[in-house]
Amino acid sequence: MHEAADLTGVAVVVVAATLCGMLFVRLRQPAIVGYIIAGVILGPSGLALVANREAISFFAELGVILLLYFIGMELSLRSFRHIWRVAVVTTAFQIGISVGATALIGQFFDLPTSHIVLFGFALALSSTAVAVKILDDIGELRNRSGRVAIGILIAQDLAVAPMLLFVTSFAGDGFNPIVLVEVAASIGVLVSVILFMSRRQRVNLPFHQILEAKKEIGTMGSLALCFLFATLAGLFGMSPAFGAFLAGLIVGNSGQRQVMHENAEPVQAVLLMVFFLSIGLLINLQFIWENIGLVLAIGIFVMFFKTMINIIALRIQGETMQTAFLASLTIGQMGEFTFVLGGAAAGADVIDNEVYRLLVGVTVLSLITSPIYVDLARRLSHRSVRNATSLRKVFRLVYRQEWRFTKATSLWFWHIANDAVEVFENMTSGMRTKAKARIDEIKMTKEAAEKAKEQTAPQPPVEADPDATRQEGEDHPAPKSEKQPSRFSRLKKTDPDLTDD
């Protein structure tokens, strides 16, 4: 019999990812950030519990396909119809300005064209998971600003598949013009699928009766459709991720959307955790620490730049300042598809590991700080803050609630500490008094025992000093004892015949 496989590593990975995800959800952050942090902790930069690069790369590639499939399944093309014009124009404006800005910067740093295109695409994309979470937290998900932001995110997600084809076209000897034909074909296929699936009447999937009747068959059928479209896309020279995205669009907008989504949701949660965990495993903390200034500078620039170009694009199209401001803030971060583009470019040798590490580091920083940035920007937009006359007043107005909470909490801890010290002193004082009384009692008992022992012990004989005895005799002579009568004298007294004449 063969030995049982050691599942300790799998257990550690799953438990760590779950705990980190729960922690960040508790902190009102997206769970995907927790998964990335768990990967950093378990990876080569942390505890090095997972160091198999081949396994990491495999899960990352599998995660890309499944991520695009599930993202496509989540997109509602019917709701996109009401906002598509604003979303498409804003997304096109984002991509054009982003690529133009990176091209301008690339002239100063002598960057190759492949890097310029990759950075421009990465700069234009935002995080759907983070943005939706922020909109839900601030109560804007169903308002105009939330609908505009969601529409822009859908348009960005639709643009990812052609971006993948374009980025990987720089592999080998350089840019291949034939890729332009492939990109145009992919866009044509994508538009056709969107128009077909966004009709009023929903389309039913083949064998939908069986898929709806058996839950386990529905789950396997959903994944089979994903990998089937990915394989077909690869056979036609397109990216497998593009095929998976089309499969997700078809399933997500079919008559069996709810059933297929419910069947695939548990698998989706596990595989998305694996994907973002694999991203964390690839992060090199030493590289980020050595280039922390560059990472911070790029991260700050990205968030301000994206916010500004989105505000401009939305204002040009007639949106109010409030709608444009809130929508632009929520999509001001870099997105999870940056990992997809960067991984595809690194796999095709378009970029080296150093550039990929920089891209991942900036993206992770952007995802983590995005909720803080949105909250700060919303507070700074308040009228009372804008009327402040000094930087000190600005910070006092912006963080007024936090300051009051911190002050009250500090006072509470101060009182608790004082009470604890007082209780400790009382306890130690009583303990010292009891200890002293006990010591005194022990001493008294010991002294009494010693006295009793002395009284009951026998007295040793005292030897007389001869000199002292002689001196005492000279000073006080002993009285002469009376001479005892002899026997003869007694007889004389009793017998008269014995007397002399």
Residue in the structure block whose two tokens are 């560059």:
294
Residue 214 located in a structural domain: yes
- pLDDT tens digits, the chain, 501 residues: what are they? 445 455 676 778 788 888 888 888 887 777 877 888 888 888 777 777 776 666 666 766 777 787 778 777 877 777 677 778 888 899 899 999 999 999 998 888 888 888 888 899 888 888 877 787 777 767 777 788 888 888 888 888 778 878 887 887 777 666 666 667 777 777 777 778 777 776 666 777 776 666 666 767 777 777 888 888 888 877 876 777 778 888 888 887 777 777 777 777 777 777 778 777 877 877 778 888 888 888 888 888 888 899 889 989 998 988 888 788 888 888 888 887 888 888 888 877 788 888 888 888 888 888 777 777 766 666 665 554 455 555 566 556 656 666 676 777 777 778 788 777 777 777 777 777 777 777 777 878 877 777 777 777 665 555 555 555 555 455 455 555 445 555 445 544 555 554 444
Same domain for 195 and 290, yes or no, is yes
Residue 34 located in a structural domain: no
* pLDDT, position 33: 79
* pLDDT, position 395: 58
Residue 10 located in a structural domain: no
Same domain for 249 and 122, yes or no, is yes
Same domain for 394 and 255, yes or no, is no
Same domain for 118 and 253, yes or no, is yes
* pLDDT, position 498: 46
* pLDDT, position 97: 92
Residue in the structure block whose two tokens are 């822009």:
152
Same domain for 272 and 419, yes or no, is no
* pLDDT, position 211: 66
Last residue of a domain, one of 425, 451, 480: 425
Same domain for 239 and 337, yes or no, is yes
Query: 91: domain CATH number?
Result: 1.20.1530.20
Q: What count of other Cβ atoms lies within 10 Å of the Cβ of residue 273?
A: 23
CB 282 within 8 A of CB 60: yes
Same domain for 168 and 195, yes or no, is yes
**Residues spanned by the domain of 61:** 54-381
Same domain for 191 and 308, yes or no, is yes
Can you tell me the distance from the alpha carbon of 72 to that of 439, in angstroms, rounded to the nearest whole number? Answer: 81
Can you tell me the distance from the alpha carbon of 252 to that of 114, in angstroms, rounded to the nearest whole number? Answer: 33
Residue 352 located in a structural domain: yes
Where residue 76 falls (left for φ over 0; alpha for ψ -120 to 50; beta otherwise) is: beta
Residue 477 located in a structural domain: no
Total of domains in the chain: 2
Break the chain down into helix, strand, coil percent, rounded to 5: 75, 0, 25
Residue 498 located in a structural domain: no
Same domain for 397 and 280, yes or no, is no
CB 322 within 8 A of CB 85: no
Same domain for 347 and 203, yes or no, is yes
Any idea what the Cα angle at residue 343 is, between residues 71 and 118, rounded to 5°?
90
Last residue of a domain, one of 356, 381, 406: 381
Residue 81 located in a structural domain: yes
Same domain for 303 and 417, yes or no, is no
The number of angstroms, rounded, from the C-alpha of 424 to the middle of its chain's C-alpha atoms is 37
Residue 458 located in a structural domain: no
Q: What count of other Cβ atoms lies within 10 Å of the Cβ of residue 440?
A: 10
Burial class (CB in 10 A: 0-12, 13-18, 19+), 255: middle
Same domain for 144 and 274, yes or no, is yes
